Chain A
Amino acid sequence: MASTNHKSALPGPNDIYREVLPNGITVLTRSNFNSPSVVISGYFDAGAILDTDEKLGLADFVTSALMRGTKQRTFDKIYNDLEAVGASLGFNSGVHRSGFHGRSLSEDLPLLLSLLSESLTQPAFPKVEIEKLRSQILTGLAIRAQDTGDMASMLFDEILFKDHPYARPEDGHPETIKRISRDDLVKFQRENYGPRGMVIVIVGAVKPEEAVRQVKRALGGWQVKGQKEAPALPEVKLLKKTVSKSHKIAGKSQSDLVIGTNGPKRKDAEFMSTLIGNSILGQFGMMGRIGDVVREKSGLAYYAASSLNAGIGPGSWEVSAGVNPKNVKKASELIISELKRFVDEGVMADELTDVQANFIGRLPLSLESNGGVANALLNIERHDLGLDYYHRYEGLVREVTREGILTSAQKFIDPDKLAIAVAGP
Chain B
Amino acid sequence: MEKEIQRVREEKVTKEEIARAIKQARALFAYGSENISNQGFWLGYSEMFANYEWFLTYLEKLSKVTVKDVQRVANEYFKPQSRVVGVYVPTEGQA
Q: Which residues of chain A have a CB within 8 Å of any CB of chain B?
A: 32, 34-37, 83-87, 103-105, 108, 204, 365, 368-370, 372
Taking CB atoms, residues of chain A closer than 8 Å to B23 are 84-86, 105
A84-B23, A85-B23 known; A37-B36 Cβ under 8 A: no
Q: Is B31 an interface residue when CB atoms closer than 8 A count as contact? A: yes
Q: Which residues of chain B have a CB within 8 Å of any CB of chain A?
A: 20, 23-28, 30-31, 33-37
A372 to B25, CA, bound (A): 22
Chain B nearest Cβ from A363, distance in angstroms: 14
A87's contact among B20, B27, B34, by CB below 8 Å, is which? B27
Contact between B34 and A86, CB atoms less than 8 A apart: no
Taking CB atoms, residues of chain A closer than 8 Å to B26 are 86, 105
Contact between A86 and B36, CB atoms less than 8 A apart: no
Q: What are the 5 tightest A-B residue pairs by CB atom distance, in nearest-first order?
A: A86-B27, A368-B35, A86-B24, A37-B30, A35-B33
Chain A nearest Cβ from B20, distance in angstroms: 5
Output the residue of A34, A37, A103 with the most chain B CB within 10 A: A37
Taking CB atoms, residues of chain A closer than 8 Å to B31 are 35, 37, 103
Contact between B33 and A86, CB atoms less than 8 A apart: no
Taking CB atoms, residues of chain B closer than 8 Å to A103 are 31
Output the residue of A34, A104, A108 with the most chain B CB within 10 A: A34
Query: In terms of DSSP, what is the predominant structure of the interface of chain B?
Result: helix
Among residues of B, the one whose C-beta sits closest to the C-beta of A370 is B34
Given A32-B34, A36-B30, 9 extra CB contacts under 8 A: A37-B30, A83-B24, A85-B27, A104-B27, A105-B23, A204-B34, A365-B37, A369-B34, A369-B35
Chain A nearest Cβ from B40, distance in angstroms: 11
Contact between B24 and A37, CB atoms less than 8 A apart: no
**A-B contacts, 5 listed (Cβ < 8 Å):** A85-B24, A86-B24, A105-B27, A365-B37, A372-B35
A103 to B34, CA, bound (A): 12
A143 to B28, CA, bound (A): 32
Chain B nearest Cβ from A202, distance in angstroms: 14
Taking CB atoms, residues of chain B closer than 8 Å to A365 are 37
A86 to B26, CA, bound (A): 8
Taking CB atoms, residues of chain B closer than 8 Å to A37 are 27, 30-31, 33-34
Among residues of A, the one whose C-beta sits closest to the C-beta of B37 is A368
Among residues of B, the one whose C-beta sits closest to the C-beta of A204 is B34
Contact between B20 and A105, CB atoms less than 8 A apart: no
A85 to B28, CA, bound (A): 10
Contact between B36 and A368, CB atoms less than 8 A apart: yes
Taking CB atoms, residues of chain B closer than 8 Å to A372 are 35
Contact between A35 and B30, CB atoms less than 8 A apart: yes
A370 to B38, CA, bound (A): 13
Chain B nearest Cβ from A76, distance in angstroms: 15
Taking CB atoms, residues of chain A closer than 8 Å to B30 are 35-37, 105
Chain A nearest Cβ from B95, distance in angstroms: 12
Among residues of B, the one whose C-beta sits closest to the C-beta of A87 is B27
Among residues of B, the one whose C-beta sits closest to the C-beta of A37 is B30
Among residues of A, the one whose C-beta sits closest to the C-beta of B16 is A84
Output the residue of B23, B26, B31, B33 with the most chain A CB within 10 A: B31
Contact between A34 and B24, CB atoms less than 8 A apart: no
A108 to B27, CA, bound (A): 10
Contact between A34 and B34, CB atoms less than 8 A apart: yes
Taking CB atoms, residues of chain A closer than 8 Å to B36 are 368
Among residues of B, the one whose C-beta sits closest to the C-beta of A103 is B31
Contact between A368 and B28, CB atoms less than 8 A apart: no
Output the residue of A36, A83, A370 with the most chain B CB within 10 A: A36
Contact between B27 and A368, CB atoms less than 8 A apart: no
Taking CB atoms, residues of chain A closer than 8 Å to B24 are 83-86
Output the residue of B20, B26, B27, B33 with the most chain A CB within 10 A: B27
Contact between B20 and A84, CB atoms less than 8 A apart: yes
A34 to B36, CA, bound (A): 10
Taking CB atoms, residues of chain B closer than 8 Å to A108 are 27
Contact between A34 and B27, CB atoms less than 8 A apart: no
Contact between A34 and B33, CB atoms less than 8 A apart: yes
Output the residue of B23, B26, B28, B34 with the most chain A CB within 10 A: B34
Contact between B28 and A86, CB atoms less than 8 A apart: yes
Chain B nearest Cβ from A179, distance in angstroms: 31
Among residues of B, the one whose C-beta sits closest to the C-beta of A372 is B35
Chain A nearest Cβ from B22, distance in angstroms: 10
Contact between A368 and B34, CB atoms less than 8 A apart: yes
A86 to B19, CA, bound (A): 12
Chain A nearest Cβ from B30, distance in angstroms: 4
A372 to B31, CA, bound (A): 12
Taking CB atoms, residues of chain B closer than 8 Å to A35 are 30-31, 33-34
Output the residue of B20, B26, B28, B30 with the most chain A CB within 10 A: B30
Chain A nearest Cβ from B15, distance in angstroms: 14
Taking CB atoms, residues of chain B closer than 8 Å to A36 are 30
Taking CB atoms, residues of chain A closer than 8 Å to B35 are 368-369, 372
